[in-house]
Amino acid sequence: MTDEEVVSHLIVPTGLARSSAIQAIAAARAGRFDEAAEKLKAGDDAINEAHEHQSDEIRAMLNGADSGPVSLIMVHGQDHVMNAITTLDLARQIVALIQDGK
């Protein structure tokens, strides 16, 4: 995977997922729980897209594809995936706490 592909397949979707999670919290704080649910769903969709590409790359490496050394941008992409997953997990909990309190 080229550096540009890493950016487009890992970093961009996970950035969108993280943004969606933060927007879900903001929507919940404003009492817009349907919007919060939509934002969490959008975040999940973006994470699934990134995770699919991440899994494809890992499978290719395990199957002997000559992908060269692991690049810094690939490591950065992996960080984005994990950060976005954590942010979405926490956002779900925060939205639920807000919703339960209203």
Domain ranges, ordered by start, for the chain: 3-101
Domain 3-101 in CATH 3.30.70.3290? The answer is no
Q: What's the whole-model pTM score?
A: 0.87
CB 6 within 8 A of CB 70: no
CB 48 within 8 A of CB 9: no
Give residues with Cβ within 8 angstroms of 85, minimum separation 6: 17, 47
Please give the DSSP secondary-structure letter assigned to residue 101.
H
> Would you please indicate which residues are annotated as catalytic (active-site) residues?
76
Name the one residue in this structure whose structure tokens are 């934002």: 39
pLDDT tens profile 78-99: 899 999 999 999 999 999 999 9
Please give the DSSP secondary-structure letter assigned to residue 69.
S
Q: Give residue 39's pLDDT.
A: 98
